[in-house]
Amino acid sequence: MGHTVPMGGGAKLITPGDPEQVFRVESNIGRGSYGSVYNAVRHSDQRPVAVKLLNIGETKASRDALDHEIEALKMCSSPFIVAFEGAYLEREQRILWIAMERCFCSCLDAMQTRAAPLSEGEIRMICASALSALEYLHDKLRFVHRDVKASNLLLTRDGRCKLCDLGVAAELGPGGARAHATRAARPVPRASRASRGRRARPAHAAQVSAAR
């Protein structure tokens, strides 16, 4: 069972089950500094998801960092942040699968595909959504995202924008001091059998209101 594999102090954060049996991986979406993301379908309900594959690493620090990222994702419940769909361990390869809501494309993809900048209305919607996501992270969870960029702002097929990737988020301690930062995992190539910050500023609430 996936939940019996030790992973820092957060084995309880891992969803039971073999990810290669839970999901059917379809295609690569992209590769970043800390892992690769794939389109996939969950067998149980044919739900389309995106899965990020990360190497757990050998050190306690790297495992604790991944625990922190999963915990942050599980805590999020906002229409402006990509929904968490579970975290699974591939026992033999020591690879973590993080399943998330699947979106259509990133803002960066949209601009590159049509070789043109976004319209003023599109920019307004994206900025308002991003600021709403940041407001939620700052006020409700006491997190600073620290990596807001076009490739981490995802667009859905019905025209909404959602913030993704809490991998380098930092938790704010008392008085706004950064208490903990994530992201110590190593990047991982596709190697599975399935398919082998800064301190939060009080002014951000006014910025959200102005953007809407």
Give the residue numbers annotated as catalytic, written as ranges.
Answer: 147
Whole-Å CA distances, 34 to 42, 63, 103, 189: 23, 14, 20, 10
Question: Of 112, 144, 105, 142, nearest to 126 (Cα)?
Answer: 105
Tokens found for residue 20: 């290669």
- Exposure b/e, 97-106, CB count within 10 A at least 16 = b: bbbbbbbeeb
- The token pair at 146 is 């620290």
Q: Give SS3 for 154.
A: strand
Q: Dihedral of CA 35/29/90/67: which sign?
A: positive
Q: Which two tokens stand for residue 104?
A: 């259509």
Torsion (CA) 144, 65, 101, 134 in degrees, nearest 10: 0
Q: For residues 147 and 69, is the Cβ–Cβ distance under 8 A?
A: no
